[in-house]
Structure 1
């Protein structure tokens, strides 16, 4: 499996868990995401974007990073371009760092949509920033090794059918929910949880950096 990290411009806390999750991966920076490289002690092999928000020059230690420049007026985001570049280089697993939080809520929303898109294309993808972690859900149960007491939510991007949550303070068993329901906001893990959704688009957002099985 070829693991790539894509550095995006949102919030990033360089925790030991985040460092461990991305250890050994190849790295591509998208526009202002380059600023996360030094705190994480990463050396991107490529820096892509229209560079409308990035520093004019990267830190001296990153001055040799190869750039791929795109026009500002385009139909794809810098993050999307970085993801597609990683896939073209053989990525089968993607970790989007700095995809959540940050100054632009629309960017965070777009990254969640992209995670769903590429997950359904068979890419192993997660979103991490050191404070929160997000994973797309499917009919196949996924186990998340959360610490007891960790808060998590299921974010829905459509109506869902057959949502099952095990190992939580408020478990669910094969529940159907309309898109407008917020029943799945702010649950609490008793420890490891297992989540699946038979139909529909949903993402688990955890206030932790769990191992996944």
Structure 2
């Protein structure tokens, strides 16, 4: 199966970690407006810079003036992040790592980034959203597995009523459990410490977000 990954740089919080560096190593990158500042931290050269550039001060624009740009007017019907994602999909992306998608000054933008990730996942594209310290994966019907360190804290947030949710390899497992929208049952679970098997998630119907903190563990060791 063809695997064509792309890295999208958004303007939210980003903390440099070894795990993040492994996740983005060698990926072609597209920056969305102010997300270009993360390119220097990650020591990479984006192949495209898109947006209206209202979040990129003159100094930043001068530093990255050699990057090809796709400029859009401020009055537009898509966010800069959505434009960057579409540019990656036009280039044949089958898997996205969206860095800087979490946190930031505006909760509406952070929530919209999560919903954007869900919408892209429903188009059949694998999506990881990350701040370096926190990671989010959209969940759609089917089975998925996730390589998270032992004792990692994670939650499953239902974006609709969930049917048949199964969680394996965790401290509080579930087997084909129905979870209504707004239910707090799936908050604050942990990966088992005594197993090498990855977290396994099964979902029969519905949509959700798995949000994990791979550095938030009780056990010592390298993540």
Which structure 2 segments of 5+ residues have no match? 216-223
For structure 1, which runs of at least 5 residues remain unmatched after alignment?
none
In structure 1, the residue corresponding to 2:187 is in which secondary structure?
coil
User: 1:130-154 CA distances to partner (integer Å, 9 max, x unpaired)?
Assistant: 1011112233221112222110000
Following TM superposition, by how much is the alpha carbon of 1:60 offset from its aligned partner in structure 2, in angstroms? Answer: 5.7
Q: Do the aligned residues in 2 keep the contact of 1:43 with 1:62 (CA within 8 Å)?
A: no
User: Does the CA contact (< 8 Å) of 2:141 and 2:206 recur in 1?
Assistant: no
Name which of 71, 74, 82 aligns with 1:72. 74
| TM-score after normalising by structure 2 | 0.89
Task: Report the counterpart of residue 168 of structure 1 in structure 2.
Answer: 170
- Cα RMSD after superposing both structures: 1.5
Closer, same or farther: CA 61–70 of 1 in aligned 2, 3 Å: closer
Contact 2:121 2:140 in 1 (8 A): no
Counterparts of 2:169 and 2:64, CA distance in 1: 44
- Aligned counterpart, 1:197: 203
The structure richer in strand per residue is: 1
In structure 2, C-alpha distance between the alignment counterparts of 1:21 and 1:151, rounded to whole Å: 19
Match of 2:45 in 1: 43
Equivalent position SS for 1:9: coil
CA displacement at 1:6 relative to structure 2: 0.5
Q: Deviations over 1:175-206 (max 9, x none)?
A: 11111211111111115311121111111111
Q: How high is the TM-score relative to the length of structure 1?
A: 0.93
Question: How many Å separate the matches in 2 of 1:124 and 1:148?
Answer: 23
Count of residue pairs the alignment pairs up: 209
C-alpha deviations, 1:80-127, integer Å up to 9, x for none? 000001111121111100001111211111111111111111112111
